[in-house]
Each structure stands twice: as structure tokens, then as C-alpha cells.
Amino acid sequence: MAMLKTEMPSSQHLQLDQYPVPELVAALVDDQFDAVQAVRNAAPRIARAVEAAVPRIEAGGRLIYVGAGTSGRLGVLDSVELYPTFSWPHERAVALLAGGESAMFVAVEGAEDDHEQGARDLDGVRPTANDVVLALAASGATPYVLGALAAARAAGALTIGIANNTGSPVAEGAEIGITLDTGSEIISGSTRLKAGTSQKIVLNTLSSAIMVRLHKVYGNLMVDLKPTNAKLFARAVRLTVHATGADEARARAVLEQCGFHVKVAIVALQRQVPVQQAGKLLEQAQGSVRGALGA
């Protein structure tokens, strides 16, 4: 661990504890720019991961996130947000966290060191060749994650390893490795900082790009959201108005006819057809609004 960049003390800000608050805050914020650059450098690998993942997800596969500590919690966060954002089924976004669900809120000491438990947890969700497993570890050497990674590969799933140290077992052991070389943390070893930020950006990018390719987005509009509260119902109306030019009353009326399915409402309004026919057009176009409008 002493040789890992993420564990080495930074050569910058050696008097961090003595900074005035404005300078302290500026240093912590500015350090995050390295996270963005690390992701930019890894963009070709991220693109390759998206291209490899989409056919498997289209064939019915799941996104399975595996991690420990901050990395694991980021995986949980990404998996949970796919349902309200893209109407992605809960059962097709699975998150495995070292130490179990309770580790989301309270650190479970030693859980990340259990290689066998990682393999058991992954096997427990019955991975298939269509699944896409995202293995996350800042160090790139977390035993729990490596155990899950080995089980995923044995099952034939697509494995994507995301780590913050070059030449890491997680990145090297996955079919597609994404290395985010964020270097030393401004607070030595605290990978919840820029290492965590870089992983969050990658997860946002991966899952969002996959959902775009699955026709969950029309233009840059979130047209397959699942309204579950007042804010999201209002957003569904605004999106429909924006996409079609209909007034709010007309948009809301059509949305109510189709259970607030924005895609269906857009096609119904644009094609001037009943919502049932709009739904069939979308089905024929594999869920693509553009395809349904051009049919």
C-alpha cells in the first residue's frame, strides 16, 4: 500500500492545517480539478466500456456494481438513481457493497479484506454472460472487489475495472480497465476526495451514456423518467411542452392519458395520434422517440 500513489503523502500544501479558512477551502476545491483531468485522460477507455456494455444490456443484462467504502457507496448511489432518471428496473441495477447494506451508513471494518465474500456475494446474484459488472476500488487492490471480479469473469460477464492507481489488479484483471490516475490526495490517503470524485464522474458518464444509447434520451431531454413526486410530475410536463411546443394544459392532458410516460406523450402530440398508437409506434422503434416520429 505504501507504494500506491493514492496512499502517498502529497508534496503540496504541507502546511494545510495552518491555512486560513478561505485558503483551506480554495486548496480543497482546486485539488478536485485533477479528478476531472484524470477522467478526461481515461475517456477512450470509458467509450470502449460503453460500446461493449450496450449490446449486453440490450440483450437483457444487468448493471452490477461492486465496491467497498466510498467506492461501493458511489456504486449504490448510481444504481439507485437509474430508476427515477431513466425508468430503469430496480432488478437490473444491482449494487454489492462490502459489509452488506448496513455498510452504506456505518463502516464495517475488515469487510473489504474478504476475497471469498466478494466472490460469494457476486455469485449470489447469479451473474450471466449478458451482465455488466463494474468493479470499483481506489487502490485497485481491494480483496473483496477482486473476489467479485474473479467470479464475474468466471460467469462470462463483461467486467469493467475502475481504479485510481496504474497497473492495479482491478484494472488489469477486468476485460476493460479504466485507470483514473488522480495521484496523492491533498489529505493523505483520503480517497473520498478526488479519487472518489473521479469515480463518480465515470459512473455518471458510463450509466448515462448507456441509457442514451438505449433511447432513454431524446435530444438532450430526459424523456423516460419515472415521476414519483411533485417535482418529477412537473418536470414531465415541462419536458413534454419543450419537446412538442404544446401548451401546458394539452401536454398535461395527454400525459394523464398515458400514465405520465413522456415518450408516449411526445409521439402522440407530434404525430397527432392516440396514446395507444403512440405506444405501439415506440415499441416498433425499440423505444426510440426519433424512430417513432419518423416511422
Tell me which residues are annotated as active site. 81, 112
Packing angle of the helix pair 21-31, 33-41 (nearest 10 deg): 10
CA-atom Rg of the chain in angstroms: 22
E strands in 73-140: 93-97, 132-137
For residue 285, give every residue at least 6 positions away whose Cβ sits within 8 Å of its Cβ, in sequence order, or none. 215, 291, 292, 295
Identify residue 106 by its one-letter amino acid code. V
Pull the grid cell for residue 207: 450509466
CA distance 13 to 29: 13
Pairing type for strands 63-67 and 93-97 reads parallel
List the alpha helices (DSSP H) in 32-109. 33-41, 43-58, 69-86
Spatial contact of 170 and 145, defined as CB atoms under 8 Å apart: yes
DSSP 42: T
DSSP 75: H
